[in-house]
Amino acid sequence: MKSSWHHYEYTQSGSVGTLYIDGIQMGQLDTITALPSVAVAKRALLGTLYNWIGRSCYAADVYLRKALVYDFRLYKTALTDDQILTSELNVGDTIMALDNAYAETPNAVSTVKDSRYKVIPLTGEIQIQGLTGNEKVSVYDIAGSQLSMTSSSLIEVKAGVYIVKINSYITKVIVK
């Protein structure tokens, strides 16, 4: 299942747990005893153990090292088959759109490391070296909102993860 998008869903209604892969029910168990209301609420603990998304809980396991996660949701109630396939999650169309977008991406942009530009994260700033003044520079926060900038060579930002685009070159930068 590597090299393509997939949708995994687990629903639980009472003691019935159901596993879906790509919108198709793969299994169901009606004897779930570890209910979240009992298993999660532990005195002096912040939650359950081993809840990682997009990576293994074992440091030496590299199987999911390059995993991409598009979406993660928690609902107060178990979704129905119809909600999974069409109305709420629309699994089939979402997977197809992600596959199409991912297949197009390598041809759509190049990384900054393949250019003459250098993007340097500083404390509270992003510095861009190699600009001539004719480039279109854009900076986006992790939510996809474009930041307004007064200068394209030294950009003031708060600590966080940002996407910097210079013409058709793109890179991710982490600012402390």
Q: Is the pLDDT of residue 107 over 80?
A: no
In a domain, 17, yes or no: yes
Model-level pTM greater than 0.95? no
Identify the domain containing residue 52 by its residue range: 8-108
What is the rounded distance in angstroms from the CA atom of residue 165 to the CA atom of residue 146?
Answer: 11
pLDDT at 10 over 60: yes
Instruction: Tell whether the model's pLDDT for residue 116 goes beyond 90.
Output: yes
Confidence (pLDDT) at 140: 87
The amino acid that residue 120 corresponds to is I
Residue 12 lies in a domain: yes
pLDDT band at 4 (very low <50, low <70, confident <90, very high): confident
Alpha-carbon separation of residue 117 from 13, 112, 120, 159, 162 (angstroms)? 53, 6, 10, 22, 16
Of the residues 86, 108, 130, the one at which a domain ends = 108
Q: Are residues 14 and 87 in the same domain?
A: yes
**What does the pLDDT look like over 124-160, one tens digit per residue?**
999 999 999 999 999 988 767 788 887 789 999 999 8
The total of structural domains in the chain comes to: 2
Residue 3 lies in a domain: no
Is the residue at 52 inside a domain?
yes
92 in a structural domain: yes
Query: Could you tell me the CATH number of the domain that includes residue 122?
Result: 2.60.40
